[in-house]
A and B are shown apart, each in its own frame.
Chain A
Amino acid sequence: DSGVTQTPKHLITATGQRVTLRCSPRSGDLSVYWYQQSLDQGLQFLIQYYNGEERAKGNILERFSAQQFPDLHSELNLSSLELGDSALYFCASSGSTDTQYFGPGTRLTVL
Chain B
Amino acid sequence: AQKVTQAQTEISVVEKEDVTLDCVYETRDTTYYLFWYKQPPSGELVFLIRRNSFDEQNEISGRYSWNFQKSTSSFNFTITASQVVDSAVYFCASNNGGTSYGKLTFGQGTILTVHP
User: Which A residues lie at the B interface, using CB under 8 A?
Assistant: 2, 31, 33, 35, 42-45, 48, 50, 55-56, 58, 88, 90, 92, 94, 97-105, 107
Contact = CB atoms under 8 A, between A and B. Distances in A.
Contacts of A100: 35, 47, 102, 104
Tell me which of B50, B91, B100, B103 has the highest count of chain A C-beta atoms within 10 A of its own C-beta: B103
B106 A99 contact: no
Contact of A58 (B33, B35, B99, B103): B103
A98 B102 contact: yes
B contact residues, range: 20 to 34
A90 B103 contact: no
Contacts of B106: 42-44
A107 B44 CA distance: 11
Nearest to B91: A43
Contact of B43 (A48, A101, A105): A105
B105 interface: yes
Given A55-B102, A98-B95, A88 B47 contact: no
